[in-house]
Amino acid sequence: MKIGNFLIQAIASGAAAAADPDLVVIPDGRGRAGNLTGIVRWTGPVDAGVARAFAVATGGELVSISDAKANENLRCLRAAAALGLGPCEGPWIGLSRTAATGAGAPWTWSDLTPVTFTRWTDGAPTSSTRITAFAAVLEDGTWIDSIPTPDAGTEVRSAAVGWPGTSDVNLDGIPDALEAFGIDTVLVPANSCGTDPADLDGNGRVDSADLAIVLAGWGGNADLPDINDDGRVDSIDLGALLAAWTGP
């Protein structure tokens, strides 16, 4: 439910099954093409497969992360006070590796987008390729690889889910399938983390590195340098970047 721009907590209906989460956090605002991204929380550790099944059942998918800014936005959303997540409690993201013998199996995104960006924490991913593993995001925004079942002692109890705009037909900011599950949401104000849309590399500054990203994407329709999300990288995006400039 949405009440202005305030942070509110809502609990799943009593009819929800044990495998259902108790809380979902979705920013008050839509991403490119009207897509929604949120973090789903369970009361205890959750299997990565269960988390993904819930995402798919509600019309979504575990998120793929394509660049530093998307990763920073997710780290910021993860810090929402209502979630109450500990340092290692996820969320799961859509990056996984199947068990392999001999040469290691590659890491792949569940939506099949190319793996062009990673942010592993020190020592991760582990060298073992004889286990199936999923990636989860830590408190500082770095990633760990973890065996995807609570039986293995994982602490992960949340998942980052993306829903296409078409999954919210009534345009109330909540995927319709979530409402059908009887699960309300926590909505946080847009830009509540203080991130600037012109800070394309997510380093806390709008500087020459961000300018280089806009110029490299000039005339195209790449998501990252398209600051105003109108489907093209042009003088409007350059103007927005310069207006937010902090340098150097």
pTM above 0.85, yes or no: no
Q: How far apart are CA 106 and CA 129, in angstroms?
A: 9
CB 240 within 8 A of CB 198: yes
* 85, two tokens: 């997540």
What amino acid is encoded at 242 in this protein?
A: L
Helix (H, G, I), strand (E, B) or coil at 54: helix
- CA dihedral over 78, 32, 219, 111, signed as positive or negative: positive
* 90, two tokens: 């996820």
Taking only the tens place, the pLDDT of each residue in 138-177 is 999 999 998 887 777 778 999 999 998 788 888 777 888 8
How is the chain split into domains, by residue range?
A: 23-188, 197-248
Taking only the tens place, the pLDDT of each residue in 85-113 is 999 999 999 999 988 766 678 999 999 99
Q: How far apart are CA 245 and CA 26, in angstroms?
A: 28
Tell me: domain 197-248, CATH 3.40.50.1360, correct?
Answer: no
What value, to the nearest 5°, has the Cα angle with vertex 123 and ends 70 and 147? 75
CATH code given to domain 23-188: 3.10.100.10
